[in-house]
Structure formats: structure tokens, C-alpha cells
Structure 1
Amino acid sequence: MASSLPEVLAEDILVRLPVESLLRFKCVCKMWHKIIKSPDFIREHCKHRNKVHKILVYDRNNPPDPITLISKDGVLENPPPDERVRGMTYVLGSVYGLFLLKKVVDGNFSLSLWNPALREVRHLPDPTFEVQPYTTNPQIPLIGKFGIGLDPITNDYKVVWFLYFSDDDNIPRIYATVYSCSRDSWRMLQLNDRYKSHICARRFRQPLGTGYLNGTYYWLVLGAWKCSIVSFDFRNEEFGEIEGPNAGRPFDHHHLVMILLDDDSIALMTNVRVCAFEYEIWVMVQPGLWNKLFALKCFTYTPSMKSWFPSTVIYVTRRSHLVSYNVRTGKSRHLGFHHPGLNNGVWNETVCSVHIYKESLVTIRRELQLN
């Protein structure tokens, strides 16, 4: 009988299983239920399953079945539809199996957290941004950027959201707030004055794949002659900045520059010859110190990069087929998914977005604490 297994042995067996099996096995006996619900077990299960992933494709123009999962063997799955997820215009993630969803209605953002494995959705309350007194011109764009991550000290999952724009007098403005799952509320942040002019003046990009690493979220900012990394530490809820490689080289919008996380390191991929699709990957050795890992020429036709996991880029071909390419071995693999929406849209917000999905037991239901 299952209950006769020693608890240590039971944990060693259960931690290797997928979430779907664990949800069933909670009913086997009280000991297994206690193990599977334990925060320590949930953390160990996340670590153990870290290298087991699927690719999640979200098609916002297909309300009946917006989600397709692609296994490492190329098997396509369409999970049961969830009405709470339909209509979302943007998916950001994932961090320990959690995704951040954005919906835009009449120019206003609404955010939700989503755990597909547990079929849980948490709609976040609206934060208060005091931006109206500073701009009355509807032509002035309010640009919002987001990050999701775990505070490793408190085990609290958080969302950071900031707006930046230039007001009627062309004065840069930036406002930031952070949401705490444990408090179920937002807190406005006090920003250093240099960010108010520095960030607004440059092009801001979300990471390719997830931007979360070891308690911190990272974005790339591009200027006419420089690129740098802006970070947000979920532990102390503070922003920081790291200088990018080759400060004297023109990293502008004519170069395809992307931030990505590779084997627990921060890296940048830059297109050095646009027509030839030749790239360099730079890895940060320590803050402000970068090494060029390698240069590569990986495509023979125009690609559109969609996501990244260690050493592998996922891209879509001109004929809208999804392909993975290992930048170290030079091997590519067709993933068996085709959709014209993969090539439609703007940076990071195409009709079909592509994400690396690692399932987890992390619950986001309001009545339960995450820690």
C-alpha cells in the first residue's frame, strides 16, 4: 500500500511526477496529500521539473482554442478551454509555471496571473497611476512594461508594472508599482530621478523568453549609441542598471538586439550583419563586464525569433512554421506547428505568442498563502 512507504521514499518518487498525476495522487492517502501540499515539496518539484518543458503557443484570435502545447517529442495538445483566459492580448512568462496575462480594453490594461497546470487564474486589482495631471493629449502614448518574479526571501510572487511617457511639455515621466500576491495589493515605488529622463529617452524591450533570474527581472534599453540592462530586484523592490557590451558601438533600432537568459547567465544577442543574419552572443561575466561567447550564422532565410531556452532559440519561418535551433550545435528541428499569426504583429506582441512552459504546483488562489 502507498501509505506503507516511508515518507522520504514517497517524496523521492512523487517529486519526479508531472502535475496531472500529483493532483490525482493527493487522494491516495493523507501522507501523500500532506507531502504534495507542502511548500517545501512544491519548491523541490519546481527544481526537479526545471528541465522538463513544453512550448506553449497562445493564439489570441482563436477564442475557442487559444492554447496549443507542444511536447519535446513534437506532440501537439489542446488543453480544455478556460473562459477566464480567453481574450487576453498578451502573455508574459513563465516563472515557475506562472504566466502574466494582459488584456487591453479601451486603452486600459488589466492583468491576471495564470497557472495552466492547476487551471487557476487570479485577476489582479487595478493599480492607481497618477498620470492624468501631467498629460491631457490623447496622442501622447503611455507605454507600459511588466515583469513577474519570485521574492526568494519571502516566497512571495510579485508583478512589477511601470508607465513611461513624455508629457505635454516634453518632460519625461515614469511611474512604477509592484503587486504582492501575499498582500493582494499594489504599492507605488519611489524612483531615482535619473530613470525619469534616462528610460523615457530610449527604446525599451522585453526579454526573449523569460526575463526572471534569481530574484531579479531584466529588460533591455537601447539608445542611439549604447545599450544597457535595467533590472528590478523583487527582494528590495528597487531598480538598477547594468552597462551593456561595447559602449562605443552604435546599438540602435537598426540592429536586432535581444536580452536573453542562458544557463543562469544574462546574455545579449545582436545582429551584426542584418542581410546575412549573422549574430553575436555576449554573456555578462559580472555587472558591466561582458565576454563574446561566439558568433554564428544560423539561418538561410528571414527568421522571426519568438522565444529562448538555454542554448536554443525558437523562431518562425517566412512560411509561418515553428522551428527550434540550437546555437551551440547548429542543429534545427521543426516543431510541427504552423500558423500565419506567428508572423503578424509587433515586437513581443504578435497574434500568436510562443513561450517555454514548465508546469508547477504553485497555487495563486487568494484564499491560500504562497509561502
Structure 2
Amino acid sequence: MADGIPILPDDMIQNILERLPVKSLMRFQCVCRQWRILFKTQYFITNHLHHSNHQNPCLLLQRYGIDNPSNFYCLDSEMQVSELQKPPLLNSLKRGEIIGSSNGLLCVEINKHDPYYHLLLVWNPAIREVRRVPETKFHEDYRNYLIGFGFCPITNDYKIVITYSSGLYADLSAVKVYSLSTGAWREVELRLNDTVRLNSRSVTVNGVMFWLVLKRFEEYTENRIVSFDLEAEEFTVITIPELQPIKLTVYEEKLVIFSENKNSEHSAIDMWVMEEGVGASGERWGWTKKYTSSPNPCLLNPTCFLNLTTIWRNEIVFCPPGEEESTVLLNPTTGEMKKFAISKCDYGYCRSNYAESLVRVEE
């Protein structure tokens, strides 16, 4: 008590503030200088992000077309869709595509007429900050590339990784890495004992980026994935079980592979989780099959597998083609399936999970 007025302890006030939406915290910067400084400390940013990830993780949606500006939306736990407020730099650009999401930051690629330059942005929609990444040019022989975005907890840094090959079915040839902390690109030496052909969007788990490996024509399957340690900046080829992988994603901070279940009479999927520890042949990683779906009419169309997008709020998200209400949630625990009324023709595709944060991107 101070002069008869009850006063909350500072640690209790901070505990309350950490649970508030970013929009409220932006307004509360005007309350006092102490709060304005507090909201920029790494300790507060980290704690706020922890609560944001657990309280209301959103599902990113994207609407885009050849002649229309890109629009980005998020679906919240109440199944309400809201548009992400873009800063002026993004409003003036067209045909952007979300490359990845990490700790409230989005990496967006802007399509350009020059195929040899990359125009990339790192954007925090919640605090409306955006950084234009310096353009980087690649050699004309490299006709095919994949872009990944992820967070390295060891160095507290965000990195963009571009992998290059000379064609769609060519082996990995070169790699460039952009660091948000240094604001610069660097070419990374490609040290691999074997040649690989990457064939998927990347997924980042605990500071390691992963890709599926493209099946070779002379072999029926390629039971490997490729990882890239964002701290050491080194590649590793990892053996996976003999399966037909169709998607990489993240579940409970672990890498997940979804695969087509060939033993089922009808369409079904298996969910494999990578566990750290000694595998059957002495590898660093082991694999556990956590779930096999029940046959379901939604999965009878084989192309549905290609539209399995992510895991959101512990449910598997599908965007089956050719349906008016195209987004489907599958609960792997109960086997329950449900649709929600967001048409793919209106909102494009579900991209990834997203949670608001106070992480800064401006230099």
C-alpha cells in the first residue's frame, strides 16, 4: 500500500503484461518509460512469445493471384479470420509468397521479372516492422532453388538459407546463408559425402533445417532426408524408415514425416516422429510411428496427400482439391475430421503456424 492505494509488485505486473496481445502492449508503451524499456528487453520478449505460442497460435492463410496483390491472413482458435496489417513497403509490392514463419517473424519472397535475383523480406506483422533483405544474385547455371527460414536458439539469430541446383532433378550444388544479426549474405561450403536432390519446403526444428530428398529415377525410393545446422552451418544426410514420405512438419518441437500407408486397403497416412537418441543402426536419431489414420472419404483422392500442409493446435491440416469448403482438420488422437468454411479459391493455401511476438527486425 502507498498512501492507501494498492500497488502490485513489479514481478506480478510483468507477469500480467506478458500475457497481453501485442496490440495492447504497443499502446501501453505510452504509460511510462519503464514499460517502454521493458517491452524491448530480450527477457520480456522471450516470455511474451512463450505465452503467445500457447495461448492463441494462428494458422497462416494466403490469398494471391497473377494480377492481384498478395494478402495474408491468420485463422485464430475461435476460427475467425483476420487480415495481417502490412506496412507501406509490403503494400506497394505484389505477388509475395510466405517462405516460412518463426517466432512471429515471416520471411516473404517477392516475385520479380529478373529470375537471377532474390527479393526477400523479413516481417513482423504484429509490430509492423519489416526489413528488406539485400538482394543476392546466383550463377546463371543454377536454374532451380529452394529458400528456407528458421531460428537458431544457440546464437539467437534468424537465418535465410538458399540451396541451388542446375535443374529440377539436379543435385544440390551451392548454398547461401543470410543472417539477420549481421545483415549480410555469405556462401557456405557444401560438404557432403553423397549427392542429394532436395524436394520439399524446408522445416526448422530447434535450430536445424530439414528437407526431403527427391526420389531418383533409377531407384524406387530415397530413404533419406537432409539437415542443415543453423549454428554450425553444416549439412548432414539422415536415414529414415522405408516409407513413402509426402510431407515434413513439426509437432511438439520434433520433426515429423507424414507418409502414405501402403498397407491400407484405402487411403491412409502414417505419422513418424524423429526422436533424439541412438537408432537401430547406431545413428544419432531414431524414428517412432506415432499415428496411422483410419480410412476416410476425405483421403480417397490421392492428391489430398499433396495438400497436407501442417499440424495446427494438435490437428493435421489438409487442403483437399476441388471442394467448396476445402480446409479439413484431422484429430490424430480421436480420428475426428471436420471442415471449416474457408474456401481455397478465396484464401489460397494454409502455409504454417504463426504466433504474435515482439521480436524486432529493423536494423
TM-score by length of 2: 0.83
Which amino acid in structure 2 is aligned with residue 54 of structure 1? C
Shift of residue 353, structure 1, vs aligned partner: 4.3
Q: Decide whether the 8 Å contact of 1:166 with 1:173 is kept in 2.
A: no
Which residue of 269, 272, 276 maps to 1:279? 269
Shift of residue 334, structure 1, vs aligned partner: 2.8
Answering whether residue 306 of structure 2 is matched by residue 319 of structure 1, we say: no
Which residue of 192, 197, 201 maps to 1:206? 201
Q: 1:75 to 1:26 in 2, by over 3 A?
A: same
Distance 1:193 1:269 in 2: 26
Shift of residue 179, structure 1, vs aligned partner: 0.7
Distance 2:6 2:121 in 1: 38
Which residue of 215, 229, 234 maps to 1:233? 229
Aligned 1:177-326 pairs, distance under 5 A? 177-194=176-193, 198-199=195-196, 202-207=197-202, 211-223=203-215, 224-246=220-242, 251=244, 257-273=246-262, 276-286=266-276, 287-297=284-294, 299-301=296-298, 302=301, 303=304, 304-309=307-312, 311-317=314-320, 318-321=322-325, 322-326=327-331
Aligned 1:1-371 pairs, distance under 5 A? 4-51=7-54, 52-61=56-65, 63=68, 66-85=71-90, 86-106=93-113, 107-108=115-116, 109-129=118-138, 131-132=139-140, 135=141, 142-165=143-166, 172=171, 174-194=173-193, 198-199=195-196, 202-207=197-202, 211-223=203-215, 224-246=220-242, 251=244, 257-273=246-262, 276-286=266-276, 287-297=284-294, 299-301=296-298, 302=301, 303=304, 304-309=307-312, 311-317=314-320, 318-321=322-325, 322-340=327-345, 351-366=348-363
Q: SS at 1:205's partner residue?
A: coil
Distance 1:3 1:25 in 2: 20
Equivalent position of 1:346 in the other structure: none
Which consecutive unaligned segments of at least 5 residues does structure 1 have? 136-140, 343-350, 367-371
Q: 1:203 to 1:65 in 2, by over 3 A?
A: closer
Which consecutive unaligned segments of at least 5 residues does structure 2 have? 277-283
Equivalent position of 1:369 in the other structure: none
Shift of residue 340, structure 1, vs aligned partner: 1.9
Q: Decide whether the 8 Å contact of 2:86 with 2:125 is kept in 1.
A: no
Which amino acid in structure 1 is aligned with residue 144 of structure 2? I
Aligned length: 334
Shift of residue 154, structure 1, vs aligned partner: 2.6
| More displaced 10-residue stretch of structure 1: 120-129 or 38-47 | 120-129
Q: 1:268 to 1:258 in 2, by over 3 A?
A: same
Q: SS at 2:12's partner residue?
A: helix
Distance 2:187 2:226 in 1: 18
Q: Decide whether the 8 Å contact of 2:86 with 2:128 is kept in 1.
A: no
Distance 1:352 1:328 in 2: 25
Q: Decide whether the 8 Å contact of 2:59 with 2:350 is kept in 1.
A: no
Distance 2:233 2:248 in 1: 21
Distance 2:8 2:36 in 1: 14
Q: SS at 1:337's partner residue?
A: coil
Q: 1:294 to 1:307 in 2, by over 3 A?
A: closer
Q: Decide whether the 8 Å contact of 1:220 with 1:227 is kept in 2.
A: no
Which amino acid in structure 2 is aligned with residue 120 of structure 1? E
Q: 1:32 to 1:89 in 2, by over 3 A?
A: closer
Q: SS at 2:297's partner residue?
A: coil
Cα deviation, 1:91-149, whole Å, max 9, x if unaligned, reads 122110111111222224311111111112211112243x24xx3xxxxx722112222
Give the strand-richer structure, 1 or 2: 1
Q: SS at 1:49's partner residue?
A: helix
Cα RMSD between the aligned structures?
2.8
Which amino acid in structure 1 is aligned with residue 275 of structure 2? V
Q: 1:354 to 1:147 in 2, by over 3 A?
A: closer
